Amino acid sequence: MAITYNPMELMICCAARMLENGRTVAVGTGAPCAAAMLAQRTSAPDLVVFFEAGGVGPQLPTMPISVGDSRTFYRAAMATSMADVMETCQRGMMDYTFLGGAQIDAFGNLNSTMIGKDYRKPKVRLPGSGGANDLASLCWRILVVTNHDKRRFVENLDFLTTPGYLSGPGAREAAGLPPRTGPFRVITDLAIMGYHEGTKRMEVLSLHPGITLEQVQANTGFALAADASLTTTPAPSESELRILRDEVDPLRYIIGRA
């Protein structure tokens, strides 16, 4: 019998597989937290999870509802502060960070500030950066988990909140950001994207089961090339889904959104 799963479960499983054992990752709530919890229970038991409010290395018992939830300190290595977490990034010790936004462009730049052309009178005012700009500027690899549609994947951002590769090759370094840092993967309900080594533009690495490249392009507001070794994303395994449903998110806070 075929395994059934929803798009959110697929995205979380894809994200969890990218987190290697022994690495460090800064997460917020939602799908990134679920991915970190799943990774700790499968292939990365020694994954060190950082929360912006100061929890470092917790063994998360159940899904927290905020970055300051007491569960983010459960059996943690440290109960510290935002300043210490950000200093860890400044020292080059944060391997991954999960970020998101209302808009993302071909170079992985993110907008979480406003929708519209007039900053003083936007169509929609969004939460803003929080720690996203700091994390994107200083962590080694940026991961994004988001739904895939033209409203999010745009040619030009309405506001640049968080730097990706900015305008292309060399732009991050010219802006004073650490070399060899930047966007790494974008995981959506349609595909997994990476970035071309030469152009720094987003490209499709893997199509989810049943999805075509034409569907991905139709839901993207900029030209999107495919990597030469384009593959099909492996579906979630029975084991991954059992852990995700029974241990990580039994109340369906995250996976129930689909």
Rounded CA separation 30/81 (Å): 21
DSSP-assigned letters across all residues of 101-149: -SEE-TT--EE-SEESS-TTS-SEE----TTHHHHHHHSSEEEEE----
Rounded CA separation 232/129 (Å): 33
Dihedrals phi, psi of 238, to nearest 5 degrees: -60, -40
Rounded CA separation 91/51 (Å): 17
Q: Which two tokens stand for residue 164?
A: 């990706």
52: annotated active-site residue: yes
Q: Which of 9, 52, 155, 238 is catalytic?
A: 52
Closest CA relative to residue 91, chosen from 195, 197, 185, 181: 181
Give the catalytic positions in this structure: 52
